[in-house]
């Protein structure tokens, strides 16, 4: 596995902490291979010069030599897992130069990104003994650097059926995530494509009966409101706690692990009470429901929720809609979580099975699902989603908007029905 992040983001500190913790709990679990240190060794071995004196062509040769070196180490070590620090790109002569190779993409099983705030990166650079050029960079420039790396790595991960897992500096939760990922006797699935495959296999009999499928986000799509906030009201969890977890519109499995872990700290009886309260507060999207009931008899309806799974199972039982609900939101009761990548792979796997998929969502977490579907729609109830507004400004998209309210995204085609 490989952890990326811009220089001075604290990758090595995090990795060393993870290695110490994992191996204390289960010896020989995690071995740290320092990427930069290994390239320095290879530079001396191949060219007889320090890495700092090598030219760009020599650096490229060293990067290509790194993966075979790593494969040999994997064969010879008795550690179960290897973790490596990585750099997707560098800031050189006022340009971002990509150093990440296809060979790196293909050799690692899991990719992480340490999303350290720009202010902290500058502070680390000021306190360090090198990379002082980073200390002179603006917050905007560092944020641009991070976004280039995150989007580039997400694209590479998608090419090999993986998810880029974006970490933060809440190291207690990061350690807990790695414990669930690496240590034996943990049943939580933390691979997006595997989760999607599992969800499909659990509903295979019904899915096999239909050629056409409507894939529905749940909160603020099937319902007009976000039932998660009603749930949190009873749980005693502030909205700000969730906003902090999902800051920057990051919706990888790690963020949903944090919320599932947070919910699991409460009594199960309170969790169930809160889910029932949220069920009762749900305001169903009557226009969407009527459209599907009148025009969508040939379609299987599947709700895929990143919210409270128990709430949506209750709503399904109450309204007999959608026909299937998939999700997971409590690490004590569920073995699956739903990130934006899970929604994407769920859609892709259905299409690979030969299904025709219409997808409906309301926010950035749904974008990958919407873009992957054969036909897709965005809904807006109380207001426009700011993330989607920015998305439509930057990109020409096939996503259409359902005309269920007076709120209209610019440059987005509007339809009155899913079936026109």
User: Could you report the per-residue pLDDT of 189-244, keeping only the tens digit for each?
Assistant: 999 999 999 999 999 999 999 999 999 999 999 999 999 999 999 999 999 999 99
Dist. CA 343–CA 152, nearest whole Å: 20
Confidence of residue 381 (pLDDT cuts 50, 70, 90): confident
* Fold observed for domain 192-415: Rossmann fold (3.40.50)
| pLDDT above 60 (res 131) | no
Dist. CA 306–CA 328, nearest whole Å: 7
127 compared with 361, residue with greater pLDDT: 361
3-state secondary structure of 72: helix
Confidence of residue 405 (pLDDT cuts 50, 70, 90): confident
Which burial class, exposed, middle or buried, applies to 264 when counting CB atoms under 10 A from its CB (0-12, 13-18, 19+)? middle
Write out the DSSP string of 167-191. E-S-HHHHHHHHHHHHSTT------
Q: Residue 52: what pLDDT? A: 83
User: Could you report the per-residue pLDDT of 163-204, keeping only the tens digit for each?
Assistant: 999 999 999 999 999 999 999 777 899 999 999 999 999 999
Percent of residues, the chain, with pLDDT higher than 90: 85
* Beta pairing class for 2-4 and 111-114: parallel
User: Could you report the per-residue pLDDT of 282-301, keeping only the tens digit for each?
Assistant: 999 999 999 999 999 999 99
Write out the DSSP string of 52-73. GG--HHHHHHHHHHHHHHHHHH
User: Could you report the per-residue pLDDT of 18-53, keeping only the tens digit for each?
Assistant: 999 999 999 999 999 998 889 889 999 889 998 888
**Tokens (6 digits) for 368:** 């990958």
Question: By the 8 A CB rule, do 164 and 111 touch?
Answer: yes
**Tokens (6 digits) for 287:** 């226009």
Dist. CA 60–CA 289, nearest whole Å: 56
The neighbouring-strand residues paired with 167 are 114
The average pLDDT across 252-260 equals 98
Q: Residue 128: what pLDDT? A: 76
User: Could you report the per-residue pLDDT of 336-373, keeping only the tens digit for each?
Assistant: 999 999 999 999 999 999 999 999 999 999 999 999 99
User: What global pTM score does this model have?
Assistant: 0.95
The domains of the chain are located at 2-182, 192-415
Longest dimension (CA), the chain: 74
The average pLDDT across 368-390 equals 94
* Fold observed for domain 2-182: Rossmann fold (3.40.50)
Same fold, 2-182 and 192-415: yes
The neighbouring-strand residues paired with 2 are 84, 111
């Amino acid at each position: 596995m490989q952890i990326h992040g811009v220089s001075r983001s604290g990758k090595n500190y995090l990795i060393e902490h993870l290695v110490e913790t994992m191996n204390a709990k289960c010896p020989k679990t995690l071995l740290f291979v320092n990427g930069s240190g290994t390239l320095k060794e290879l530079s001396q071995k191949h060219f007889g010069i320090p890495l700092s004196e090598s030219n760009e062509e020599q650096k490229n040769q060293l990067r290509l030599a790194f993966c075979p070196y790593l494969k040999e180490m994997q064969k010879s070590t008795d550690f179960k897992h290897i973790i490596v620090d990585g750099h997707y790109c560098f800031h050189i002569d006022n340009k971002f130069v990509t150093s990440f190779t296809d060979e790196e993409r293909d050799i690692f099983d899991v990719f992480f990104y340490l999303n350290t705030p720009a202010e902290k990166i500058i502070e680390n650079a000021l306190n360090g003994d090198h990379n002082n050029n980073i200390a002179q960079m603006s917050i905007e420039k560092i944020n641009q650097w991070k976004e280039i790396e995150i989007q580039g790595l997400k694209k590479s991960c998608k090419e090999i059926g993986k998810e880029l897992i974006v970490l933060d500096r809440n190291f207690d939760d990061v350690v807990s995530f790695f414990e669930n990922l690496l240590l034996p006797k943990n049943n939580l699935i933390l691979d997006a494509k595997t989760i999607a495959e599992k969800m499909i296999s659990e509903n295979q009999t019904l899915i096999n009966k239909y050629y056409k499928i409507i894939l529905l986000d749940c909160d603020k799509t099937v319902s007009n409101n976000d039932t998660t906030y009603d749930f949190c009201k009873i749980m005693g969890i502030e909205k700000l706690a969730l906003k902090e977890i999902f800051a920057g519109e990051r919706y990888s499995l790690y963020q949903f692990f944090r919320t599932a872990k947070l919910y699991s700290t409460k009594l199960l009886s309170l969790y169930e009470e809160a889910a029932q309260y949220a069920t009762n507060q749900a305001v169903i999207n009557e226009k969407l429901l009527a459209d599907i009931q009148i025009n969508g008899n040939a379609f299987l309806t599947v709700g895929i929720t990143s919210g409270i799974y128990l709430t949506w199972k209750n709503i399904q039982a109450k309204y007999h809609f959608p026909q299937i609900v998939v999700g997971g939101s409590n690490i004590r009761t569920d073995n699956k979580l739903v990130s934006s990548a899970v929604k994407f792979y769920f859609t892709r796997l259905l299409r690979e099975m030969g299904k025709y998929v219409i997808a409906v969502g309301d926010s950035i977490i749904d974008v990958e699902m919407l873009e992957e579907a054969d036909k897709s729609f965005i809904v807006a109830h109380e207001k426009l989603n700011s993330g989607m507004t920015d998305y439509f400004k930057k990109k020409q998209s096939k996503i259409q908007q359902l005309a269920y309210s007076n709120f209209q995204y610019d440059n987005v085609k509007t339809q009155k029905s899913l079936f026109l």
